[in-house]
Structure 1
């Protein structure tokens, strides 16, 4: 992976990871029935509700994509560490919610009914696991950037005009081709002095 991890690929991968984290955190992760004054109701929590830090970590991954597009060797290592830590944090948070969504659902039930109690079985969706996988991929990207020895050197000719021809020094007067007008004037001057202008030709 490190052999083909160019600047553009790394920035794209980080941006995609951040987008997936944000998208999956907005989806429903778990739901359960609750008892309310008007009968049974149902509460649903999204990833952002159950793990509020996940959207923030997704934004960090998106910001890292921009940083990687401009990064030198030192900044690349800093961004790699941030990505690895953010990805691992997402995995821990997402897996924790999916294994036990009860606290998040009871908190949602308390907001809905005033009583933090559930009245039925808890159901989960696959989105939390998708988010965990995206977090794992984000962490793997950070590790790959840390172990990569590929150079992302910048071009020193960035601001040079493309296709500009190198300047040529002016030719010495003796080597410069003479125009017909200049030769005619020299011939006239020679005739005025009584000389034959064709003698040297």
Structure 2
């Protein structure tokens, strides 16, 4: 099986590589369109700011490649947000795979922004969550989130309910960092690779 991690202007990719190493998965880290299109599975991870990251994707043409992929694609953190239609982070037009807008957490809710640390997810409706205990704890670091919508397959609550995971067709996404979410994150990655 050929797994590709998309190489682009985002941080934290090394943690994803370590997580795949731990479960014995081989992978290729590349921005080459032919390599990405020929992969069996594609991972689109990231830590970053929406507008500069989206600008980089446009400059190298990945903004057109990613939405056109037919194999299972898994976006995490900013990867998930860029798969949405729009982000309030610097008013950024994104790829529109998920027809939903990413919004900033309200500053007046009495909670610290960014939402950072361990929180539980619930309402699983995804093959990626097979085998997870109810209300599994995963690790978040984000100031923006997709609201609950028709694509929500797991949710979390921080000031308000939001989408912890999204799914549409061959596109899967998680707002949290699977690669640093312990056993739950490892299970989700393993389930993705088994799709």
Alignment TM-score > 0.5, same fold:
no
Q: Which is greater in Rg?
A: 1
Higher RCO, Cα 8 Å, sep 6+: 1
More strand by share: 2
After TM superposition, the score normalised by the length of structure 2 is 0.21
After TM superposition, the score normalised by the length of structure 1 is 0.21
More helix by share: 1
